[in-house]
């Protein structure tokens, strides 16, 4: 069994008053190729009800740092673990309270927070005892969709409604309560994960090599190979721009969304994994989500529809907060799209390697994992099809 030190202390203040901690059990939640930036555990917490003396079980998920020093460095876990904890402990309650003040139903698109820490010493330094504990929403019927297939039209519309709400709430809070936003949100959305160190160059070069192989073997997209490589080599501007800059998840793809199904249709969505959140353009989330996680035919046929659908939801939410929507017009958002398409092509195309990898070829990432000792990650067939689809989309929209 996996061990979580001092779990009872972690739960203090989070359990209902009538519940008393008794014991727990934990096991691995994900397999090779399903998660890279952390260890995910399924935890069953046994409690006793003080009033009835009956035993009750709390089903939770524990997130701990990856054992590999290489993966900790790649995901900058020493910097990102605390912001993710604070998203649950501080940011989401703040957003919910803000929505209540405007007569809105508080957002419910994240799992319940059960506790978090960086170590056992109550300091700001992360170590192997760091843990984030949240409700296991899988026991309530939430699940990930098929990452190799992607979302259909109705499901992505459901998700975009929640995404527009998150982005608009961040902007409204920033405009109407700037001091609170700067104090309780800004500190947890300022970590740049990729793109600001030498290690990111390796991802780009590996991506360029795969791009040559994939596009070069497809006559339909082969003519765009030179333009795509130029896009990959161009330096990205990641700086936030006003007035659109807001809370952006930055890693929205199939496995970071869990959905509840009813009668063969997804009816509710939850966002997970907030370690990479940033204060940048909402267009970044929209691009990455659509490029990586929507069925290929829908990307090509419904792109304009989905962008318009998102923007309408975004504007509707701003109006609920009494925000002047003139600076956030569709024309202004189109400029955000223009500013975002290049950096999100780099982002999405690099991340296709792990996101669409063949899990049958994946190996556990242990403590001694070193990519220099591993064979290069080969693009899967789903990866190749997705990349060609994205290139077709970019050519269609004049982005190449």
Q: Which of 62, 235, 37, 33 is nearest to 147 (CA)?
A: 33
> Is residue 169 within 8 Å of residue 95, measured between CB atoms?
yes
Q: Please state the pTM of the whole predicted model.
A: 0.93
- pLDDT reported for residue 344: 95
Where is pLDDT greater, at 233 or 236? 233
Asked if residue 70 is part of any domain, the answer here is yes
Give me the chain's average pLDDT, please.
Answer: 91
List the alpha helices (DSSP H) in 356-377: none
pLDDT mean over 114-139 = 95
Q: Which of 353, 362, 391 is closest to 253 using CA atoms?
A: 353
Whether 145 maps to a domain, the answer reads: yes
Burial bucket for residue 322 (CB in 10 Å: 0-12, 13-18, 19+): exposed
Report yes or no on 280 lying in a domain. yes
Rounded to an integer, the average pLDDT of 122-129 is 92
- What pLDDT shows up at residue 198? 40
Whether 1 is covered by a domain: the verdict is no
Looking at residue 214, its pLDDT comes to: 97
pLDDT in tens, 194-220: 554 444 556 778 889 999 999 999 999
Which structural domain range is residue 179 located in?
A: 7-396
Does residue 212 sit within a domain? yes
Assigned domain for 188 exists: yes
Strands in 65-166 per DSSP E = 113-117, 131-135, 142-143
The CA–CA distances, whole Å, from 266 to 106, 155, 256, 290 equal 20, 6, 15, 17
The Cα 107–Cα 126 span in angstroms is 30
| Number of domains forming the structure of the chain | 1
At residue 361 the predicted structure's pLDDT band, cuts being 50, 70 and 90, is low
Dist. CA 185–CA 93, nearest whole Å:
11
Please state, in angstroms and as integers, the Cα–Cα distance from residue 124 to each residue in 78, 119, 129, 225, following that order.
9, 8, 12, 46
Does residue 2 form part of some domain? no
């Amino acid at each position: 069994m996996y061990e979580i030190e001092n779990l009872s202390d972690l739960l203090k203040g989070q359990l209902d008053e009538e519940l008393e901690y008794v014991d727990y059990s934990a096991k691995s939640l994900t397999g090779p190729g399903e998660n890279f930036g952390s260890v995910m555990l399924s935890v069953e917490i046994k409690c006793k009800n003080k009033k009835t003396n009956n035993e009750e079980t709390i089903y939770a998920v524990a997130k701990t740092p990856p054992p590999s020093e290489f993966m900790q460095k790649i995901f900058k876990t020493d910097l990102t673990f605390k912001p993710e904890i604070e998203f649950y402990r501080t940011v989401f309650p703040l957003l919910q309270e803000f929505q209540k003040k405007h007569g809105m139903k508080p957002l419910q698109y994240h799992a319940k927070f059960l506790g978090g820490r960086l170590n056992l010493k109550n300091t700001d330094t992360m170590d192997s005892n760091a843990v984030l504990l949240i409700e296991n929403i899988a026991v309530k019927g939430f699940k990930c969709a098929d990452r190799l297939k992607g979302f259909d039209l109705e499901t992505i519309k459901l998700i975009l409604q929640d995404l527009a709400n998150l982005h608009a709430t961040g902007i409204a809070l920033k405009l109407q309560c700037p001091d609170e936003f700067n104090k309780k949100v800004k500190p947890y959305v300022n970590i740049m994960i990729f793109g600001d160190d030498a290690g990111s160059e390796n991802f780009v070069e590996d991506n360029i090599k795969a791009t040559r192989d994939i596009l070069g073997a497809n006559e339909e997209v082969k003519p765009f190979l030179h333009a795509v490589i130029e896009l990959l080599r161009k330096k990205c501007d990641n700086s936030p721009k006003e007035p659109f800059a807001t809370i952006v998840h930055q890693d929205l793809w199939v496995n970071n969304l869990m959905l509840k199904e009813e009668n063969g249709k997804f009816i509710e969505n939850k966002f997970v994994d907030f370690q990479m959140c940033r204060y940048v353009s909402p267009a970044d989330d929209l691009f990455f989500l659509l490029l990586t996680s929507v069925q290929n035919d829908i990307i090509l046929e419904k792109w304009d529809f989905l962008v318009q659908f998102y923007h309408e939801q975004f504007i509707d939410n701003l109006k609920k907060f009494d925000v002047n929507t003139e600076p956030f017009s569709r024309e202004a958002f189109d400029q955000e799209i223009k500013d975002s398409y290049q950096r999100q092509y780099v982002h999405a195309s690099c991340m296709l390697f792990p996101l669409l990898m063949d899990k049958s070829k994946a190996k556990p990432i242990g403590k001694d994992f070193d990519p220099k000792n591993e064979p290069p990650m080969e693009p899967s067939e789903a990866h190749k099809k997705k990349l060609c689809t994205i290139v077709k989309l970019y050519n269609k929209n004049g982005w190449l």
